[in-house]
């Protein structure tokens, strides 16, 4: 049994993570929501974007500081302005397109309950054309949801579906919290875990998948972004570098280099029909360059896959 299962607080000083850590939008894991929003903002400015998130730039401006530098280019050394960053923006664009199209398919199939796990600054409740009667549940830590709610209020924006916040940590009993907000497990649902699994230790990933499976009626959809763990020594070296220098991207101090089970394997074993698309294959399909295998970007994106499944 792990410390998590015992509910005992464990802290690994090299990661900066604890079993029950919390954050707001500009700190720790919360700031990763701004990092991917800044990527979407940069994509939206391209002449031929793969996806346009019209809110992403505003979120960054409201957050200020380095997030404005990232999108205005005032700090040429910002990680999103480097060679790595250019590939990272393509990666985010591709994944936004992949998951947007997934939701179009789920809605077309008649699904009217949508669950966005680790919603962060995901603006799909506002920007996708949801059919009447759709309810979008957004789960994330309370302060992250609060930032987006306040931002949308200041912009005077209203969601395109009924949006219900579930302010909770996904290492806690989120299925119960979701049901308490009105989620109906007897009706089909469409789930997304985008940019989430790497921030959860393996036992919490397993509980997340089990929670989805337990609440998903036949006809439900799930889509997941997953990463296979890096070689242990390479990962530890990256983490030590990041922990030693405030100049380094803190990413490696925030993630768990763990994978409970590949999503296709896990869901297929429980009656779902699943398909995995390696990110590199998808980048090629959507006409974006694939970073070389020995580059910093290639090392990261080469581990990533996009998975979607439907429950029979
Ligand atoms: N899914 C969004 C997107 O793709 O734009 C946000 C992705 S962001 C990289 C990671 C998000 O996961 C953050 O919003 C963070 O708060 C959330 N997150 C990570 N671990 C979490 C946990 N244990 N409980 C709740 N939210 C979590």
Alpha carbons 212 and 296: distance in angstroms, whole number = 33
Residue 15 binned pLDDT confidence (cut-offs 50, 70, 90): low
Q: Is the CB of 29 under 6 A from ligand 1?
A: yes
287 beta partners: none
What domains are defined for the chain? Answer: 21-311 (3.40.50.150)
Q: What is the pLDDT of residue 12?
A: 42
Work out the percent of the chain whose per-residue pLDDT is above 90: 83
Q: Is the pLDDT of residue 7 over 80?
A: no
Among 29, 35, 63, the mutation site with the greatest number of ligand 1 atoms within 8 A of its Cβ is 29
Cα separation, 129 vs 107, in Å, equals 9
Q: Ligand 1, residues 42, 118, 249, 251: which to mutate, most atoms within 8 A of Cβ?
A: 118
Average pLDDT for 138-143: 98
Q: What is the pLDDT of residue 13?
A: 40
| Confidence band for 239, pLDDT divided at 50, 70 and 90 | confident
Q: What is the pTM of this model?
A: 0.94
Is the pLDDT assigned to residue 287 strictly greater than 60? yes
Q: Is the pLDDT of residue 299 over 70?
A: yes
* Ligand 1 centre distance from Cα of residue 33 (Å): 6
Q: Return d(Cα 93, Cα 79) in angstroms, integer.
A: 16
Asked whether 272 and 306 are in contact (CB, 8 A), the reply is: no
């Amino acid at each position: 049994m792990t410390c998590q299962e015992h509910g005992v607080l464990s802290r690994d000083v090299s990661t900066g993570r604890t079993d029950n850590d919390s954050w707001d939008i500009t700190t720790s894991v919360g700031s990763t929501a701004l990092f991917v929003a800044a990527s979407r903002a940069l994509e939206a400015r391209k002449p031929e974007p793969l996806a346009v998130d019209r809110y992403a730039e505003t979120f960054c401006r409201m957050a200020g500081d380095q997030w404005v530098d990232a999108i205005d280019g005032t700090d040429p050394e910002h990680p999103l302005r480097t060679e790595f960053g250019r590939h990272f923006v393509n990666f985010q664009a591709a994944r936004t397109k992949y998951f947007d199209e997934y939701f179009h398919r789920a809605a077309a199939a008649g699904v009217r309950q949508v669950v966005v796990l680790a919603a962060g600054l995901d603006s799909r409740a506002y920007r996708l054309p949801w059919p009447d009667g759709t309810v979008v549940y957004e789960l994330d830590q309370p302060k992250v949801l609060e930032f987006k709610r306040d931002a949308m209020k200041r912009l005077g924006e209203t969601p395109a579906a009924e949006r219900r916040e579930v302010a909770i940590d996904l290492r806690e009993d989120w299925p119960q919290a979701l049901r308490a907000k009105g989620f109906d497990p007897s009706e089909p649902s469409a789930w997304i875990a985008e940019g989430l699994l790497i921030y959860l230790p393996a036992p919490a990933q397993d509980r997340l998948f089990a929670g989805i499976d337990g609440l998903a009626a036949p006809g439900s959809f799930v889509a997941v972004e997953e990463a296979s763990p890096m070689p242990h020594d390479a990962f530890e070296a990256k983490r030590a570098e990041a922990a030693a220098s405030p100049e380094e991207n803190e990413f490696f101090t925030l993630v768990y280099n763990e994978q409970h089970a590949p999503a296709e394997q896990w869901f297929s074993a429980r009656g779902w029909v699943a398909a995995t698309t390696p990110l590199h294959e998808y980048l090629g399909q959507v006409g974006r360059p694939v970073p070389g295998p020995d580059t910093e970007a290639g090392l990261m994106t080469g581990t990533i896959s996009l998975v979607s499944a439907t429950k029979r």
